[in-house]
Structure 1
Amino acid sequence: MLNRRLFLKSSALIGCSAAAHPLLSSIAFASAPSENRLVVIILRGAMDGLDVFQPYGDPQLRKLRQTISLGPDKGAHDLDGFFALHPALSSLLPLWKAGELGFVPSVSTPYRDKRSHFDGQDMLEAGTGTDLDLDRQRDGWLNRLLHNMPGAQSETAYSVGTEDMRILAGDAPAKSWAPEIDLRISSQAQMLLQHVYHDDPLFREAGSEAMEIAGQGVEGNREDKEGGPTRDARALAHFAASRLNEETRIATFSLPGWDSHARQGAVLERALLRLADAILTLRKDLGGNWPKTTVLAMTEFGRTARENGSGGTDHGTGGSMLVAGGAVRGGTVLGKWPGLGESDLYAGRDLMPVADIRAYAAWAMRDLFGTSRDALETSVFPGLDMGENPRIIRG
């Protein structure tokens, strides 16, 4: 049953676990004048890139970690003789071999040292370069991208989830809905709700938006009877693909659950299975549009190079970005490796970031949609120096 709680845009969740809560997710869309598709997946909770893409060829890894990131000898899949893929992503190996999966090691936003999920996620989604910029920039980088794409239809943007996505916040309007609530209601019930909320300025607009989204098929794939712990991720990906197969060209959704202070093996396995199933669902449902699709999976920051005493890792700096899709230059490492020696680590504890993750997103948008470099460096990602093209897109 629909009630006013459905339309609340925030909650009183406090602390580390709230920002990385496994039940928080969201999704957003926008159309654009292009045949290319872009999917941005926000991995909330700080994914440990050193465990997902394990640099087992670096001899320092074994000195830093004793129970995690153990390489091919413990089930990880060798990729190139230096890096190995986490066992939970084994279903994505065919994509790596087909050149449709790659990754960028040692990247981060400009966020440093404070290691807060909330601030790190805001920095990632706002696309800013400093905390001062973050205070001034109240919108998100995908929203600003729309304003720099002639012909983009920002009125088709949606935000679906229990928390707002800053990445699409801004002048372009967005609509919100909580995905765990079933919005299948009769026309008579819709008329009753419209009557009840008509004179309520707080909920009238939100109620109208909720019923509009209810008719869009957000509730997921009704043919998916498999269930299981990855069903929510598959539903998000299925709905994203259904929109991308029509007029939508940009989709973004979040997958939480990456905070792994303890028992990282179990935490990361669950999160990676959800990510893998989301990507495979996109690939299957997009069909002929998959070759024109780029998926960027980004996280707010990495984790410490050293394993802690609880079999996990703490908040760090440098992390990894996963790229997938028929449009990407996969089957290879798309970036540089700084090493794990004591002098190589950031602040003596973290993987050293050698590139700004915003530059990779910017070049993807330059190559996919033809957005000008000037707009990307001054408006979409203010203060960014894109540097040379890393060529993560085929072409």
Structure 2
Amino acid sequence: MLSRRHFLRVAAAGAGAMLVAPQIVFASAATDRRFVFVIQRGAADGLNIVVPYAEPAYASLRGPLAIDTANAAKLNGTFALHPSLVQAAQMYHGGQALFVHAVASPYRDRSHFDGQNVLETGGTAPYQVKDGWLNRLVGLVGATRENAIALAPTMPLALRGTARATSYAPSALPAASDDLLTRVSALYEGDAQLHGLWASAMNARGLAGDASAHQDPASLGKLAAQFLARADGPRIAMIETGGWDTHSAQNARLANQLKALDTMLASLRDNLGPAWDKTTVLVATEFGRTAAANGTGGTDHGQASVAMLAGGAVAGGRVIADWPGLRPADLYEQRDLKPTASLDALIAGAAAESLQLDPQRTATVLFAQAGAQQPVTGLIRT
């Protein structure tokens, strides 16, 4: 026999439950600007995403993994973009995307769980902070309607905190009938604990409208755009992507991952319409990968990686990098790309400028444990 709580989960899943990554989280705030955080779980290899083709040590370190830039978009005289990122290259050359290289959070070990915890909470060490920086950002903006909505089976840590959250998740399962949903609504009408959760879920379902979302990248981008473009929809979003841990067979796997990311971002852009001009998308990972290839056609856990900003609001067409080099003496612990840029400072500056907040106050609220660091500014068009 199903418990009432379990039945609620089953019925909500019929309304739509995402069974596989990626996952999306939304927050509604008192602004007409949009800010989207895309996390690449698994440690994305920045050296093969934004390729330092002019760096003499790159080809020798990477060997067969070195990206042939003959068919890659040249970003400048030093860096080229992975060939799978066709749409991202167009955004870059159209002034709607930029890249920040050799960037990292304060975390300096190589555990996915600990690295993601530091990235999502905004702390300087794992499990130091209990809530997420994206949740604190919602509080800074000032929420309206539903404070947050998650398209995910669980709420990502970056959005956990005092801001209220609900969820919606697309599903490949048959849609629940209106009769079933009405019966469940009646069942929970008098339940003090579950009535609010169900009502919130039904509200999210209503916002989704006729998206008929699937789990492929193009459909996911379209669904995100459908939420964000609505006048009564969310303004802050989080999208989770997984599969970036490329210990083996990296070239094929990374190419597929980047093609999916590229397709999702292009779908988001194309379906947002005029709202794209007020949108900033930040793409980042918990840490990078080793400078040298390993013995199984991949790379191992490293340090610095690359972050991307895309959107019509972005002052793009550039690569921001204090490039440390790839000679043995240049590497972190003689194995990793050395961090020379702060991911926290990038997030604080991008979020503040995107949502018209004070950058220094935003940095202090989002990354209090890091002390008085200077947020990166000049990222967003005025």
1:392 aligns with 2:376: no
Shift of 1:219: 7.7
- Give the TM-score taking structure 2 as reference length: 0.88
Of the structure 1 ranges 192-201 and 89-98, higher mean CA displacement relative to structure 2 is found in 192-201
Shift of 1:220: 4.0
- CA RMSD in angstroms comes to 2.6
Shift of 1:238: 1.4
Structure 2 counterpart of 1:140, from 126, 132, 152? 132
CA–CA distance in structure 2, aligned partners of residues 187 and 30 of structure 1: 26
Amino acid at match of 1:212: N
8 A contact 2:360–2:375 mirrored in 1: no
1:244 aligns with 2:228: yes
- 1:98 matched residue in structure 2: 94
- 1:4 matched residue in structure 2: 6
Question: What CA deviation, in whole Å up to 9, does each residue of 1:224-277 have, x standing for no partner?
Answer: xxx8xxx52222221221222224221111111111110011111111111101
Question: What CA deviation, in whole Å up to 9, does each residue of 1:20-78 have, x standing for no partner?
Answer: xx9333212223333322111111111101001010100011121111233324x3332
Question: What CA deviation, in whole Å up to 9, does each residue of 1:149-184 have, x standing for no partner?
Answer: 2x4327241111133211111111112344335473
- 2:111 matched residue in structure 1: 116
Amino acid at match of 2:53: Y
Distance 1:291 1:194, change over 3 A: closer
- 2:14 matched residue in structure 1: none
8 A contact 1:28–1:159 mirrored in 2: yes
Shift of 1:129: 1.9
Shift of 1:212: 3.4
Amino acid at match of 1:52: I
CA–CA distance in structure 2, aligned partners of residues 219 and 43 of structure 1: 28
Shift of 1:201: 8.0
Structure 2 counterpart of 1:323, from 287, 309, 313? 309
- 1:12 matched residue in structure 2: none
Question: What CA deviation, in whole Å up to 9, does each residue of 1:58-115 have, x standing for no partner?
Answer: 0011121111233324x333221211111111233221211112110001111112x1
Where does structure 2 lack aligned partners over 5 or more consecutive residues? 11-18
Amino acid at match of 2:223: F
- 1:69 matched residue in structure 2: 66
1:86 aligns with 2:82: yes
Give the match's secondary structure for 2:309: strand
Amino acid at match of 2:361: A
Aligned residues: 368
8 A contact 1:30–1:154 mirrored in 2: no
Structure 2 counterpart of 1:28, from 10, 13, 25? 25
Where does structure 1 lack aligned partners over 5 or more consecutive residues? 9-21
8 A contact 1:218–1:239 mirrored in 2: no
- 1:354 matched residue in structure 2: 340
8 A contact 1:140–1:166 mirrored in 2: yes
CA–CA distance in structure 2, aligned partners of residues 330 and 275 of structure 1: 18
- 1:125 matched residue in structure 2: 120
8 A contact 1:242–1:286 mirrored in 2: yes
CA–CA distance in structure 1, aligned partners of residues 79 and 307 of structure 2: 14
Identity of aligned residues (%): 38
Question: What CA deviation, in whole Å up to 9, does each residue of 1:349-393 have, x standing for no partner?
Answer: 111111111111111122222323443233211133442644221
Amino acid at match of 2:96: E
Give the match's secondary structure for 2:35: strand
8 A contact 1:221–1:238 mirrored in 2: no
